[in-house]
Amino acid sequence: MPVPDALADILAQSPSSPQALGRATLLLLLLTLGAVILVTGLVALALLRRGRRLLGKPPRAVPTPVTDAWAEAGRRVEAPTAKELERGADGGAEPVPDRAVEPYHGMGRPVALVTGGARRVGRAIALALARGGCDVIFTYNRSADEAQSLARELSRAGSEASFYQLDLADGPAVEQFAATLAETLPRLDVVVHNASIYGPSPLDELTAEDAMNHYRVNALSPLVLTARLAPLLARSTIPGGGAVVAVADIHAMGRPRRDHAAYSMSKAAVAEMVRSLARDLAPRVRVNGIAPGVIAWPESGEESTPEAQAKYIRRIPLGRAGTPEDAGEVVRWLALEATYLTGEVVRVDGGRWLT
């Protein structure tokens, strides 16, 4: 018999008797308790089911803090303010303070890496690539002030500029630098191997360490950097794919100079690297080089004298020394426009090769 019918029956038998009222009250209490137990059970069941679903799912991933390698290894400058620009390119501007930086996030503009970019030819190359629409990462070794200056100039040209101190003679440091870029850069389109050391090595003064130092800086480090960064370059979406441009020397290509065997051998290795990597990295990456004559006179030594310079110029069909800007424009062309060239070393010497 249903509970409501049983309650009605009890009250109908003796509606005013204490026994009937007691039984009715007890029945109501039992009914209420049963309802509470039922509701509680349903809620518990629902919670249990939900808990099982949650437990059955893998834990929600919590982003692991990533060490900002850019903040550790490099510095980025912000575009100068109007007040800074009024002070002039560099003269009156305050030094850019060191600051922690965010990883590079730009995806629209090509990204170029230039080694030894702070001064002379490297500076001209970096600026040419910036004018060509690239954001520029560059390295320097000792020229910290020039690096700050170049970064400001690149910012004024509309390029995001980041720079790193890097000694290419330090093999582990080169490996770490390459790993940092490979892990943190969202893209890399151009690598320019410009940094080098240059000095005489007369045979009566030659040491194995000096010769190896030329090789490590001028040839081995460019090879290692290219190998480590090749996967990034292969994903480049610029016309013609990723590009590597290495700076060789016409005097290491059949025009040897006296007392420079260590330097010339290292630069000859660069020219061979261009040809070898052009095959290894095709078709996704083009590899070319430039072989300058004189485009920036040495700052010391015999070749820094007016007499030595005049003697050299007399053998240049175009009748003048080149400029860093001459080299920069050829590098920009090879990197961004010469989409059907690979394995070539372009002489930038005013015709000096012919005489």
Distance from C-alpha of 193 to C-alpha of 334, rounded to nearest angstrom: 13
Predicted local distance difference test score (pLDDT) of residue 64: 33
272 and 180 share a domain?
A: yes
- Per-residue pLDDT at 102 exceeds 60: no
In this prediction, residue 31 has a pLDDT band, given cuts at 50, 70 and 90, of confident
Last residue of a domain, one of 56, 85, 100: 56
Same domain, 27 and 105: no
Which tens digit of pLDDT belongs to each residue from 152-183?
999 999 999 999 999 999 999 999 999 999 99
166 lies in the same domain as 200: yes
Same domain, 110 and 234: yes
- Report strand pairing: 242-247 vs 190-193: parallel
- 83 — phi, psi (to 5°)? -65, -40
Q: What average pLDDT does this structure show over 80-98? A: 41
Whether the pTM exceeds 0.75: the reply is: no
Catalytic residues: 263
Residue 163 lies in a domain: yes
Three-state secondary structure call for residue 151: helix
Same domain, 44 and 172: no
Is the CB of residue 249 less than 8 Å from the CB of residue 203?
A: no
Is 295 a member of any domain? yes
CA 105 to CA 4: how far, in whole Å?
73
Query: Is residue 128, in this structure, part of any structural domain at all?
Result: yes
Establish if 229 belongs to a structural domain. Answer: yes
Q: What is the mean pLDDT of residues 184-211?
A: 96
Q: Which amino acid is residue 178, in one-letter code?
A: A
Are residues 97 and 229 part of one domain?
Answer: yes
Report strand pairing: 242-247 vs 135-140.
unpaired
Predicted confidence at residue 255, as pLDDT, reads 86
Q: What are the start-end ranges of the H helices in the chain? A: 3-13, 18-56, 69-73, 82-86, 120-131, 144-156, 171-184, 208-215, 221-234, 261-281, 306-313, 324-336
**For 243-275, what is each residue's pLDDT tens digit?**
999 999 999 998 898 999 999 999 999 999 999
Please write down the HEC assignment for all residues of 283-348: CCEEEEEEEECCCCCCCCCHHHCHHHHHHHHCCCCCCCCCCHHHHHHHHHHHHHCCCCCCCCEEEE
Most confident of 6-10, 203-207, 254-258: 203-207
From 9-18, 136-145, 194-203, 331-340, the region with the lowest mean pLDDT = 9-18
| pLDDT at site 19 | 63
Are residue 200 and residue 233 in the same domain, yes or no? yes
250 vs 61, higher pLDDT: 250
- Domain presence at residue 62: no
pLDDT score of 229 more than 70: yes
Residue 108 near residue 118, CB atoms below 8 Å = no
Whose CA is closest to 114, among 191, 197, 228, 227? 191
Same domain (yes/no): 150, 25 = no
Task: Report DSSP state, residue 45.
Answer: H
Q: Read off the amino acid at residue 239.
A: P
* 79 and 196, same domain (yes or no): yes
Minimal CA–CA distance to 163: which of 152, 171, 151?
151
Residue 302 has pLDDT above 90, yes or no: no
Mean pLDDT estimate for the chain: 81
Confidence grade of residue 228 (pLDDT, cut at 50, 70, 90): very high
Closest of 190, 24, 158, 9 to residue 80, by C-alpha: 158
Distance CA 68, CA 354 (A): 51
Residue 46 confidence (pLDDT): 62
**Segment among 184-198, 302-316, 321-335, 340-354 with least mean pLDDT:** 302-316
**Is residue 39 scored above 90 in pLDDT?**
no
**Residue 139 in contact with residue 125, Cβ under 8 Å?**
no
177 and 323 inside one domain: yes
Whether 76 is covered by a domain: the verdict is yes
Q: Report which residue type is found at 51.
A: G
User: Which domain covers residue 289, as residue numbers?
Assistant: 69-354
First to last CA, the chain: 122
227 and 81 share one domain: yes
Asked if residue 192 and residue 105 are part of one domain, the reply reads yes
- Comparing 142 with 82, the larger pLDDT belongs to 142
CATH number at residue 301: 3.40.50.720
**How many distinct structural domains can be found in the chain?**
2
Enumerate residues 6+ apart whose C-beta is below 8 A from 277. Answer: 223, 226, 244, 285, 287
Q: How far is CA 143 from CA 117, 150, 252, in A?
A: 9, 11, 27
Separation of alpha carbons 218 and 14, rounded Å? 113
Domain assignment of residue 63, yes or no = no
Dihedral in degrees, nearest 10, Cα atoms 93, 99, 104, 109: 0
Average pLDDT over residues 79-95: 42
Looking at residue 176, what is its pLDDT?
98
Last residue of a domain, one of 32, 56, 80: 56
> Last residue of some domain: 11, 32, 56?
56
Residue 111, in any domain of the structure: yes
